[in-house]
Copies of this chain bind each other. A is one copy, B any other.
Amino acid sequence: MSSPEQWTHPEPGVGPAATAAKPTAEQVIAGLRATSEGGPELVQLLTPEGERVPNSQWDPYVSDVTAEDLRNLYRDMVLTRRVDREANALQRQGQLGIWVPLLGQEAAQIGSGRALKPQDMAFPSYREHGVAWTRGVKPTELLGIFRGTDHGSWDPLANRFHLYTIVIGNQVLNAAGYAMGQRFEGKVGDDDGEATICYFGDGATSQGDVHEGFVWASVYDAPLVFFCQNNQWAISEPTERQSRLPLYQRARGYGFPGIRVDGNDVLATLAVSRWALDECRHGNGPVLIEAFTYRMDAHTTTDDPTRYRLSDELEAWKLKDPIERVRVHLVRHMDTENEFFDQVQDESDQLAAELREFCQNMPEPPPGRMFSEVYAEGSPVLDAQRDAYLEYAAGFDGGEH
């Protein structure tokens, strides 16, 4: 039951006000007001067991997906996970200051990322390493953020993948503005139209900026897909701390569609994202997608989830792994040989090795970097600070101080 309104909100009418509905902790956990169950409205095309569920509404959006395509999606997810695990290990070994794992969210990210057309724009939060991959951002280009050498070294305009945004919710407004721009430039209205996708988490939905993004996008008919990865946790807080209702229903109050998809199902995510992006590029935006998934690792490498959640939960979600179900499906129904899997395995080892190699050899940024590119047109005050600092620092080179 994904619409628990009836028990919290009796209808007006004869008689005294209804008694307070006080769910017990157990009821909450059991999902009485939960935002965490799948529910009948969850779009799923591939079960955790790897079986294809026919769905007349959504099948058309993936009817062109060949076995080859599915293998590519599989490959994307495996490589993404491998990059994620390698980076996590690099952090453990002191090569990165921190890492933000996406483990478990590969399908949500690859499915939506692969739904994008080249002309589309994406605004990530900080966990979208899989989406970055689909936009042609090299995994090595992500590392600087976490090693502390830069704030992201890819070209956000060339890749059409904005820089990571760490302040929760900020990017939603930036994306809304960008999408408004697409519309103002007349780039919306047909199959070649442009669209924007914006990623944020379940926790982010509480932020004022996300709301304002919903208001702006709906008022300006912006071609914007709000892509909420509900991984069920905002650090230590479960989604119940952010909402009474499943998050996709938030859209109902703004007058645009909200839809919940199994975020561990790459095919369903692809289908729903394609539909949503198409709606947007044709001028019917915005759309909200809630990808229902699970953060299988810690929030970041500095987090300790054992303090706030039970390992049972993780075990249950392991059975819904986004990669495994595709693997099973490919083997059982798509005549995929071991060779393919071995090859993807090799490729991912290769990628991981390159990542490691790159990471270990990343140069330190020069001190002048602190002062560089703050302003397009410079600042005499800052320039003077830079000059004084560099002169001061030069005193140490072979100096005596």
A256 beta carbon closer than 8 Å to chain B:
yes
B254 near A245 (CB under 8 angstroms)? yes
Chain B residue contacts of A211, Cβ below 8 A: 208, 210-212
- Alpha-carbon gap, A275 to B189, bound state (A): 46
A401 beta carbon closer than 8 Å to chain B:
no
A381 shortest CB reach to chain B, Å: 28
A255 beta carbon closer than 8 Å to chain B:
yes
A188 near B253 (CB under 8 angstroms)? no
Contact mask for chain A residues 57-93; partner B; CB cutoff 8 A; 1 contact, 0 none: 1101100000000000000000000000000000000
Chain B residue contacts of A282, Cβ below 8 A: 16-20
Chain B residue contacts of A250, Cβ below 8 A: 253-254
Chain B residue contacts of A10, Cβ below 8 A: 279, 284
Chain B residue contacts of A21, Cβ below 8 A: 283-284
Chain B residue contacts of A58, Cβ below 8 A: 12
A69 shortest CB reach to chain B, Å: 20
A47 beta carbon closer than 8 Å to chain B:
no
Contact mask for chain A residues 182-220; partner B; CB cutoff 8 A; 1 contact, 0 none: 000000110100000000000001111111100100110
Chain B residue contacts of A369, Cβ below 8 A: none
Given contacts A20-B282, A278-B17, contact A215 B189 (CB under 8 A): no
A37 beta carbon closer than 8 Å to chain B:
no
Determine the main DSSP class of A at the interface with B. loop
A305 beta carbon closer than 8 Å to chain B:
no
Given contacts A209-B208, A245-B255, contact A60 B13 (CB under 8 A): yes
Chain B residue contacts of A310, Cβ below 8 A: none
A22 near B218 (CB under 8 angstroms)? no
A141 shortest CB reach to chain B, Å: 32
A8 near B242 (CB under 8 angstroms)? no
A242 near B215 (CB under 8 angstroms)? yes
A4 beta carbon closer than 8 Å to chain B:
yes
A5 beta carbon closer than 8 Å to chain B:
yes
- Alpha-carbon gap, A191 to B208, bound state (A): 34
Q: How many residues of A contact B (CB 8 A)?
A: 63
A307 beta carbon closer than 8 Å to chain B:
no
Chain B residue contacts of A60, Cβ below 8 A: 12-15
A361 beta carbon closer than 8 Å to chain B:
no
Using CB atoms, name the residue of chain B closest to A18. B284
A303 shortest CB reach to chain B, Å: 22
* A218 CB contact (under 8 Å) in B12, B244, B256: B244
A57 near B11 (CB under 8 angstroms)? yes
Given contacts A20-B189, A208-B211, A242-B219, contact A9 B283 (CB under 8 A): no
B255 near A252 (CB under 8 angstroms)? no
- Alpha-carbon gap, A13 to B58, bound state (A): 6
Would you mind naming 27 contact pairs between A and B with Cβ atoms under 8 Å apart?
Answer: A4-B255, A8-B255, A8-B256, A9-B279, A9-B284, A10-B279, A12-B61, A14-B60, A15-B60, A16-B191, A16-B282, A17-B275, A17-B282, A19-B283, A20-B282, A20-B283, A21-B283, A21-B284, A22-B283, A206-B215, A208-B209, A215-B242, A219-B243, A245-B254, A249-B252, A249-B253, A253-B254
Contact residues of A with B, CB < 8 Å? 4-5, 8-22, 33, 56-58, 60-61, 188-189, 191, 205-212, 215, 218-219, 221, 240-245, 249-258, 272, 275, 278-279, 281-284, 287
